[in-house]
A = this chain, B = another copy of it.
Amino acid sequence: MCETCGCGDPHRVPVEVQEKILAGNERQAAHNRARFGEHGVLAINLMGSPGAGKTAVLEATARRLGPNRRLAAITGDLATDRDAERLRAAGIPAHAITTGSACHLDAELVHRALHHVPLAGLDYLFIENVGNLVCPAVYDLGQAFNIVVLSVTEGWDKPLKYPVMFRVADLVLVSKVDLLPHLGDVTLEAIAGALARVMPEPHLLAVSAQTGQGIEEWKRWLEAQKAGIRTAPDSLRAHPSP
């Protein structure tokens, strides 16, 4: 975090104000995490740039996991509940948080949204954060895992330029890989190389919601975490999926 305000503001928010804000968020996040734990719900904080394909990945995830798994979602956007609508159409009960002009969700906003999302019997709760490659990285929501969706159309160098987000990521879903043939100098190898320079434990999966590529592997990753296996298979470490 920068020396100014909690979400990376370069301005002069006093340090004691920042600390109070983050301490309050940590307390609320711990409360959320305890609730998820009580219900055996695996909570995922899904982050990424605007238009990275977060909602499309969740639609594909719902199709792949099928009716045997119970999913729900909380979606964050400045305005509209379009993402929640799309997810409901894909069979995922979803509640929209509209943040006005706020650039990320926080633990309190998620806590309030949980009044609309019954946790009993749920397997997975996906929290689709506001599209933003900076601010959401700073605020713990109570999730078990941070997943970053990074579209190949954003270029290969984003991990180097926005390292704060990738340092907290447990797994990066490199999305829209069906567009790679049209993107000149962008390759999975270049993206994997950039991630290896900033992620403490580089894990990535190449996916396409359009073609379904990588979605089975992503499903297996989710199911492995759900089963309590925290470590990803060696095959996923810093290697793009085929």
Chain A 1-38 per-residue mask, 1 if CB under 8 angstroms from chain B, else 0 = 11111111111111001001100110000000000000
Q: Name the prevailing secondary structure of the A interface residues.
A: loop
Cβ–Cβ < 8 Å partners of A101 in chain B: 1-2, 8, 134, 137-138, 164
Closest B-chain residue to A161, C-beta based? B77
**Contact pick for A9, options B6, B20, B131, CB 8 Å:** B6
Q: How far, in angstroms, from A159 to B159 measured CA to CA in the complex?
A: 25
CB contact under 8 A between A5 and B9, given known A78-B134, A103-B103: yes
Residue contacts A-B, CB under 8 angstroms, 6 given: A49-B131, A78-B161, A79-B163, A131-B133, A131-B158, A131-B161
Q: Are A161 and B2 in contact (CB under 8 A)?
A: no
Across the interface, do A78 and B164 meet the contact criterion of CB distance under 8 Å? yes
- A102 close to B (CB within 8 Å): yes
Q: Name the residue on B nearest A178 (C-beta).
A: B182
List of 3 A-B pairs having minimum Cβ-Cβ separation, nearest first? A51-B154, A153-B153, A10-B102
| B21 lies within 8 A of A13 (CB) | yes
Q: Is A99 interfacial (CB 8 A cutoff)?
A: yes
Residues of B near A179 (CB, < 8 A) are: 153, 179, 182
B2, B130, B155, B178: the one contacting A134 at CB < 8 Å is B130
Q: Is A61 at the interface (CB under 8 A from chain B)?
A: no
A210: chain B residues within 8 A (beta carbon): 184
- A interface residues, how many (CB within 8 angstroms): 63
Name the residue in A8, A77, A163 with the highest tally of chain B Cβ atoms < 10 Å from its Cβ: A8
User: Is A157 located at the chain interface by the 8 A CB criterion?
Assistant: yes
Question: Nearest Cβ distance between residue A23 and chain B, in whole angstroms?
Answer: 11
Given contacts A10-B108, A51-B151, A178-B182, 7 further A-B contacts (CB under 8 A): A3-B100, A5-B6, A7-B11, A14-B17, A79-B163, A82-B160, A153-B176
Q: Could you tell me the distance in whole angstroms from the C-beta of A148 to the nearest C-beta in chain B?
A: 11
Q: Which residues of B contact A99 (CB under 8 A)?
A: 2, 8, 10
Task: Give the distance in Å from the alpha carbon of A63 to the alpha carbon of B238 in the complex.
Answer: 38
Residues of B within 8 A of A77 (CB): 161-162
Say if the beta carbon of A135 comes within 8 Å of chain B.
yes
Tell me if B51 and A158 are in contact (CB < 8 A).
yes
Complex Cα gap A24–B137 (Å): 27
